[in-house]
Amino acid sequence: MYLVNGKEYNCSVAIVQDIFNDKWKLGIIWHLLAGEKRYKELFEEVKEITQKTLTVKLRELEEKQLIAREVFPEIPPKVVYSLTPIGERLRPLLKEMYDWGIDYVQACGEFSTEEGCALTCKDENLGKNE
């Protein structure tokens, strides 16, 4: 039994389920795996997301301590988001998702090309150790 963020979980998998049960957090983490990003960069790279939703999801990720937010007191404003250690620790999980997705396409897909991954996080980043 676990108590995290004020919630009880019977299984650690349920924590992951709960955190990432939305349309956007996984994609945001994915992009941050390639390195820290400004708000605008994320807004451009996470396809189709709205500003409001991006802000909401960034706040949630920050509250869950998966990302860090650094504000630079400049004009115009500059805010940089980066992964915390436990956020960075998601890399092997995302890598597993990436790999399973490929296998799933092989098994059940109708079509695939090698035209790169719009989520910009290439293999070299996925496997990166710092």
Partner DNA sequence: CTGCATCCTACATGATACTG
Partner DNA sequence: CAGTATCATGTAGGATGCAG
Q: Which of 52, 73, 112, 115 forms a contact with DNA (CB under 7 A)?
A: 52
φ, ψ at 15 (rounded to 5°): -65, -50
- The reply to whether 54 sits near a second copy by the rule CB under 8 A is no
Q: Which of 56, 97, 117, 118 forms a contact with DNA (CB under 7 A)?
A: 56
- Other CB atoms closer than 10 Å to residue 78's CB: what's the count? 13
Which positions from 73 to 112 touch a second copy by CB under 8 A, shown as an x/- string?
------------xx--xx-xxx-xxxxxxxxxx-xxxxxx
Q: Is the CB of residue 125 less than 8 Å from the CB of residue 33?
A: yes
Q: Is the CB of residue 24 less than 8 Å from the CB of residue 74?
A: no
CB of 106 to DNA, least distance (A): 26
CB of 85 to a second copy, least distance (A): 7
Q: Which of 1, 73, 76, 124 forms a contact with a second copy (CB under 8 A)?
A: 1
The rounded distance, in Å, linking the Cα atoms of 11 and 74 is: 44
